[in-house]
Amino acid sequence: MTTIPALDVVELKKIYANGVEALKGVSLRVQPGDFFALLGPNGAGKSTLIGILSSLVNPSGGEARIFGVSIRAQRSAAMRLVGLVPQELNFNLFEKPFDICVNQAGFYGIARAQARERAEKYLKQLVLWDKAFQPSRTLSGGMKRRLMIARAMMSEPKLLILDEPTAGVDIEIRRSMWKFISAINAAGTTVILTTHYLEEAEQLCRNIAIIDQGRIIENTSMKHLLTQLDVETFVLDLAAPAATLPEVPEVKLVRVDEMTLEAEMTRAHDLNSMFAALSRSGITVRSMRNKANRLEELFVRLVERGLQAARGEGRKPDGECATEGCA
Amino acid sequence: MPAIAPTAPAAHLIALGTIARREVMRILRIWSQTLLPSAITMTLYFVIFGRMVGSRVGAIADGIQYIDYIVPGLIMMAVITNSYGNISSSFFGAKFGRYIEEMLASPMPSWVILSGYVCGAMLRGLMVAAIVLAISMCFTRIHLYHPWVTLLTVLLTAKVFSLAGFVNAVFAKKFDDIALVPAFVLAPLTYLGGVFYSVNQLGTPWREISYANPILYMVNAFRWGLLGISDVPLGIAFAVMFGFACVLGAVSLFLLQRGIGLRS
């Protein structure tokens, strides 16, 4: 028995009235229960794709199905399955969070008594209950973002789409939002996340697609993607200043300051030979950490490759780049 | 294919009620902008035109005093202005503040969204009509000749102008765009629609030109309901109101369905 994908996008195209071709035939599949990252630089087509999936943007061609339900042929039925947390604030700032949530449930045909229960439940879970009856314009930026998550949860969707939900939110609130979204996903909701915090995608998501210039340039599992990164850079904090740096084969050692070194090496290379060489030179390493977000490095590399291809340096057709999601 | 539960009419009813309720809450929340201005304006009309000018004009027809004569027109003026203004400002506000997306991304069909907003606007028209009627009672005694005609006329008029306001809001790109039509189209048509005078008092060609004004039919149908007199046949008046309601309803639904001015 084959599983119906949570999201099945086939050759989706969008050409805006001003002639901008935002999506050039995007194909994508997300499996039920997945936590899926959709990444891409600004203007890549992420928001257009999300707009089409939430029926806010009319597609120019192609098809998208949510749990097998076509968003074109059966819009109402498809929308019943989707919850959207948009990038921009889109609630009435003069209304109270409780009313915003209850009304949202009403738009989905949920009876008022049940809607009130759900509003209380989700506003409490997202630590907004003490602000539930204050005008939403008085909420902080992080609270407004959490309110949009609570609102999206009112219909308890099978597919939750979060378009940069943690943008401009401090790390503490961001982590609490991650916890909430992870719990929602663990409970069975399929989650699609776009974010500019690549650490967020790396930590949360199991599968990933990278979109650039209206095309999917990578679509694979997070684990598989990260294995493509063959060079790593470590930051070494020293116990005492190092007078001279030893020569270590296949390791590039760079002095950042007198107490810090950076070591760049291939993933195949073991760390022991480097530590032995450092030890022989009388250098004691007190602690070590990865320099950069690994996904960030890959992301930049993939997007740069895409740009080069766009300049006519031999872009691979989409079919070759994209692999099916590996849920 | 997965089994799709048929969309229950009850779900549509809840959705429609949610929009209408939200609209009513908005009307009550900003009552000083939605309900009070018409009350003050109409009181001034009653004082100036009804009492001061009306006392010199005397009886208009069949012993009907001028102040009685203008009551239906003033109520209709309030209904037209408020129905139109409610939906145009509320729907455009939702567009401007982007919270229209809450509804566009929901399973609600277009007709439910439209009906919800129209209900809200009609309710404001009816609330203001009741307020103006209550104020008029301070100045004169109105006898309701034909309650059903009165009710049907006020409902149809509120509906026509709610739909017109909706079309305006769909095309509006800035707040100025929703202020232009009431100032330059609605106000002149209302004043020239027989609110303060009978078109039979006009000479040719002004009387014939007045018959092209749809508001004339609404005011006169309402006047017939309240006072039992009208410048136009009641059947034609209702045909005009039904006609406008149907055409504007179809246009509004088409715009919403296609997402014109709403979806990219």
State how far the Cα of B25 lies from the Cα of A160, in Å rounded to an integer: 30
B3 reaches A (C-beta below 8 A): no
Domain ranges of chain B: 19-258
A-contacting residues of B 107-136, CB under 8 Å?
Answer: 107-109
Judge residue B228's burial from the number of C-beta atoms within 10 Å of its C-beta, 0-12 exposed, 13-18 middle, 19 or more buried.
Answer: middle
- What pLDDT, in 10s, does the model give residues B39-75? 999 999 888 887 888 778 777 777 788 888 899 999 9
Instruction: Quote the mean pLDDT of chain B.
Output: 91
User: What does the pLDDT read at residue A321?
Assistant: 33
> Shortest Cα distance from B258 to chain A (angstroms)?
9
Q: Count the neighbouring beta carbons within 10 Å of the beta carbon of residue A307.
A: 14
State how far the Cα of A70 lies from the Cα of A252, in Å rounded to an integer: 53
Q: In a mutagenesis test of the A interface, which of B101, B115, B257 is the best target, namely the one with the most A β-carbons within 10 Å?
A: B101
Q: Which of A185-199, A229-243, B72-86, B138-152 has the highest mean pLDDT?
A: B72-86
3-state SS of B236-250 is HHHHHHHHHHHHHHH
Asked whether the predicted pLDDT for residue B92 surpasses 50, the reply is: yes
Structure tokens that stand for A34 in this block: 């997945």
B15 reaches A (C-beta below 8 A): yes
8 A C-beta contact, residue A131 and residue A180: no
3-state SS of chain B is CCCCCCCCHHHHHHHHHHHHHHHHHHHHHCHHHHCHHHHHHHHHHHHHHHHHHHHHHCEEECCEEHHHHHHHHHHHHHHHHHHHHHHHHHHHHHHHCCCHHHHHCCCCCHHHHHHHHHHHHHHHHHHHHHHHHHHHCCCCCCCCCCHHHHHHHHHHHHHHHHHHHHHHHHHCCCHHHHHHHHHHHHHHHHHCCCCCCCHHHCCCCHHHHHCCCHHHHHHHHHHHHHHCCCCCCHHHHHHHHHHHHHHHHHHHHHHHHHCCCCCC
B208 reaches A (C-beta below 8 A): no
User: What does the pLDDT read at residue A133?
Assistant: 96
Asked whether the predicted pLDDT for residue A1 surpasses 70, the reply is: no
List of chain A residues whose C-beta atoms are within 8 Å of the C-beta of residue B29 = 94
> Shortest Cα distance from B113 to chain A (angstroms)?
9
A112 reaches B (C-beta below 8 A): yes
User: What does the pLDDT read at residue A311?
Assistant: 61
Instruction: Please choose, from the candidates A54, A51, A68, A67, the residue with its C-alpha nearest in 3D space to the C-alpha of residue A14.
Output: A51
Amino acid at A93: L
Structure tokens that stand for A79 in this block: 């929308």
Asked whether the predicted pLDDT for residue A229 surpasses 70, the reply is: no
Q: Nearest by CB to B108, from A51, A88, A107: name it.
A: A107
List of chain B residues whose C-beta atoms are within 8 Å of the C-beta of residue A91 = 99, 102
A67 reaches B (C-beta below 8 A): yes
Asked whether the predicted pLDDT for residue A323 surpasses 50, the reply is: no
Stretch among A114-123, B205-214, B232-241 having the lowest mean pLDDT: B205-214
Structure tokens that stand for A156 in this block: 């308890």
> Shortest Cα distance from A25 to chain B (angstroms)?
18
Amino acid at B110: S
Q: Nearest by CB to B109, from A76, A106, A112: name it.
A: A76
Look at the block and give the residue holding tokens 């609570």. A150
List of chain B residues whose C-beta atoms are within 8 Å of the C-beta of residue A57 = 263-264
Q: Nearest by CB to B101, from A67, A90, A110: name it.
A: A90
> Shortest Cα distance from A312 to chain B (angstroms)?
31
> Shortest Cα distance from B85 to chain A (angstroms)?
19
In chain A, what are the domains? 7-226 (3.40.50.300)
Q: Is the ipTM above a cut-off of 0.85?
A: yes
Asked whether the predicted pLDDT for residue B127 surpasses 90, the reply is: yes
B101 reaches A (C-beta below 8 A): yes
User: What does the pLDDT read at residue B1?
Assistant: 45
8 A C-beta contact, residue B223 and residue B195: no
- What pLDDT, in 10s, does the model give residues A141-197? 889 999 999 999 999 999 999 998 888 788 788 888 889 999 999 999 999 999 877
State how far the Cα of A127 lies from the Cα of B113, in Å rounded to an integer: 31
Asked whether the predicted pLDDT for residue A36 surpasses 90, the reply is: yes
> Shortest Cα distance from A301 to chain B (angstroms)?
32
Share of chain B above pLDDT 90, in %: 71
List of chain A residues whose C-beta atoms are within 8 Å of the C-beta of residue B263 = 55-58
Instruction: Please choose, from the candidates B95, B82, B178, B76, the residue with its C-alpha nearest in 3D space to the C-alpha of residue B122.
Output: B82
Q: Count the neighbouring beta carbons within 10 Å of the beta carbon of residue A250.
A: 12
A69 reaches B (C-beta below 8 A): yes
The pTM assigned to this predicted structure is: 0.83
Share of chain A above pLDDT 70, in %: 89
Q: Determine the distance from the C-alpha atom of residue A146 to the mean position of all C-alpha atoms in its chain, rounded to a whole number.
A: 16
A54 reaches B (C-beta below 8 A): yes
Which chain B residue has the Cα nearest residue A16? B264
Amino acid at A15: I
> Shortest Cα distance from A260 to chain B (angstroms)?
49
List of chain B residues whose C-beta atoms are within 8 Å of the C-beta of residue A58 = 259, 263-264
Instruction: Please choose, from the candidates A66, A70, A72, A69, the residue with its C-alpha nearest in 3D space to the C-alpha of residue A7.
Output: A66
**B28 pLDDT tier (thresholds 50, 70, 90):** very high
Asked whether the predicted pLDDT for residue B38 surpasses 80, the reply is: yes
State how far the Cα of A294 lies from the Cα of A290, in Å rounded to an integer: 8
CB contact under 8 A, B7 and A84: no
What is the tally of helices (H) and strands (E) in chain B? Answer: 13, 2
List of chain B residues whose C-beta atoms are within 8 Å of the C-beta of residue A56 = 101, 104-105, 263-264
Instruction: Please choose, from the candidates B262, B10, B246, B249, the residue with its C-alpha nearest in 3D space to the C-alpha of residue B114.
Output: B249
Q: Enumerate residues 6+ apart whose C-beta is below 8 A from B27.
A: B34, B35, B86, B120, B123, B124, B127
Asked whether the predicted pLDDT for residue B24 surpasses 50, the reply is: yes
Instruction: Please choose, from the candidates A173, A191, A168, A88, the residue with its C-alpha nearest in 3D space to the C-alpha of residue A127.
Output: A173
Asked whether the predicted pLDDT for residue A296 surpasses 70, the reply is: no
> Shortest Cα distance from A214 to chain B (angstroms)?
16
